[in-house]
Amino acid sequence: MTTMTIPETLGAALRRPRYLFTRWPWLALGNIIVGIALASVLGSVLLPLLVLSLVPQIRANLWPALLRVEVWRLRLIDGPGADRIAPPIDTMARDGGTPSFAQFAHLAIVILLLIPFTVGAAFLPLIFTMLFAPWPLFDGAPMEALGPNATEAEIGRGAYDAFVAPLPTWVLVIWLIVAVIVFAAALLYAAGLWAWATGRLARTLMSPDDEQLRRDLTRVRESRADVLDAAALERTRIEGALHDGVQHRLVALTMKLGIVRAEEPDTPVGKLAGEVHGEIDGVLADLRRVIRNVQPRALAEHGLRAAVADLAAGLPMPVTVDVPSARMPRHIEEAAFFITSEALSNVAKHAEATRADVVGVVEDGTLFLTIADDGRGGAVETAGRGMRGMRQRAAGVDGTITVASPVGGGTTVTLSCPLPDDTEEADAR
């Protein structure tokens, strides 16, 4: 069974033989009608708009609104193109609302092109009548008999006798039906081609250049890094409150209970103190795990190498840690640590491994961190929340995760993550 793919843009639809039987001709007409309305407004009040643009508050709202109409108009026929020209308009709106030369030029071209198109479209019925009229069946004698001083009524009667009376009714009906069908098809194709051409013009003029794309990408990366760093600082604050506040109070409470148990070991109070002491020890163990998951203190104070070594010390199998000691940006260290933690947790739970290795190196501005074990392998790369979590962590720092897990050959998880230019390139141990 074959499935018919739906074209995403008007340009793709125009190349299909079923173009006339899709929604695209009507979207093209909608594009043109909205453009004509915009061109009429701009053409009639352009000078007042330019004067009003001298007021910053008006300018900040006026031009972005007009250009967003163009984005919406383009979205009717070219969604990807509209997505491409929208970000520069948003940036322009944030920067005060002054359109770039290309954006202003596009609005001017809308005025210059769409109004003539409207005038030209009004002559299409006459052009089609001249092209497709059944000239061999007409009798020109009545028109030739008219003198130079013929009245309008005489001219009308002569035209009827020359062009209508000679035609049988069935010929006239068939001709009208065919003419209407051909005219409608030609009009819809013409509208599609015109809308496509003006859409390409908008996309060409208002799409961001490579330099602007690089600036926007840099701004997005910096904003994301700031958000991740702020989240890391908040986790550090929570970790500090749990470690220095709740944990210390619980430790002090266990010490007091220990004293009571030691002084009255055989009394009901002493036995109860011992039971409560044991429960609090369990709570402390859970609290330490929560603190480590929220924000390992070793990671914040000493970096990735110390945090991974501390993590490895609590695992049931020996783990070799060979990670750079040089500090990296906080959000990258966090992502690398939690990916390592998840991978080692999977090793401990599922791999049946006798050992594991964590090896990291920074080369060519990229951190390569590998977690390998000698377990049974056969891990499914796309299965489980843990793997999805690792991929999401990696994607948050523009990194990627690869997994190699042949059956019986162990599992190797590798994080590749680009580092900022000022990060030290070292693999010092």
CATH of domain 302-418: 3.30.565.10
**What Å distances lie between residue 108 and 11, 15, 191, 205, CA to CA?**
24, 29, 20, 12
404 burial class (0-12, 13-18, 19+ CB within 10 angstroms)? middle
179 has pLDDT over 90: no
Domain boundaries, the chain: 10-206, 225-294, 302-418
User: CA 418 → CA 230, 343, 393, 414, distances in Å?
Assistant: 20, 20, 13, 13
Instruction: Tell me what pLDDT residue 1 has.
Output: 41
Residue 428 pLDDT exceeds 60 = no
Q: 396 versus 149: which is more confidently predicted?
A: 396
Confidence band, pLDDT 50/70/90 cuts, at residue 84: confident
pLDDT attached to residue 373: 92
| Cα→Cα distances 277→13, 66, 247, 258, 395, Å | 75, 71, 14, 7, 44
Strand 400-404 relative to strand 412-418, pairing:
antiparallel
**What pLDDT is stored for residue 211 in this prediction?**
65
Q: 165 or 360: whose pLDDT is higher?
A: 360
pLDDT-derived band at 416 (thresholds 50, 70, 90) equals very high
Q: How far apart are CA 265 and CA 268, in angstroms?
A: 8
pLDDT digits (tens, 9 = 90+) for 103-154: 778 777 777 776 666 666 666 666 666 555 555 544 455 445 555 666 566 5
Q: What pLDDT was estimated at residue 356? A: 92
Report pLDDT for 2.
Answer: 45
With bands split at pLDDT 50, 70 and 90, how would you rate the model's confidence at 95?
confident
pLDDT(408) > 90: no
**With contact defined as beta carbons under 8 Å apart, do 397 and 407 qualify?**
no
Contacts of 263 (CB under 8 A, 6+ apart): 270
Give the residue, 256 or 219, on which the prediction is more confident.
256
Does residue 54 surpass a pLDDT of 80? no
Percentage of the residues of the chain whose pLDDT score is greater than 70? 76
**pLDDT at site 371:** 93
Half-sphere exposure of 403 (CA within 13 A, CB side): 20
- Quote the percentage of the chain above a pLDDT of 90: 7
pLDDT of residue 415: 93
Q: What is the mean pLDDT of the chain?
A: 77
Which pLDDT score, from 0 to 100, does residue 321 have? Answer: 92
**Measured CA distances, 419 to 58, 123, 203, 225, 370 (Å):** 43, 63, 34, 12, 16
Question: Is the pLDDT score of 426 beyond 80?
Answer: no
What CA–CA distance (Å, rounded) separates 306 from 348? Answer: 20
pLDDT score recorded for residue 370:
93
Q: What is the pLDDT of residues 262-290, one digit of tens each?
A: 888 778 887 788 888 788 888 877 777 77
Residue 418 has pLDDT above 80, yes or no: yes
The structure tokens 């060409």 sit at 204
For residue 359, the model assigns a pLDDT of 93
Residue 167 has pLDDT above 90, yes or no: no
pLDDT for 338 equals 87
Q: Which two tokens stand for residue 160?
A: 């009827």
Q: Can you tell me the distance from the alpha carbon of 316 to that of 269, in angstroms, rounded to the nearest whole number?
A: 37
Q: What are the backbone dihedrals phi and psi of residue 322, each rounded to the nearest 5 degrees, phi first?
A: -135, 75
The residue ranking higher by pLDDT, 62 or 360, is 360
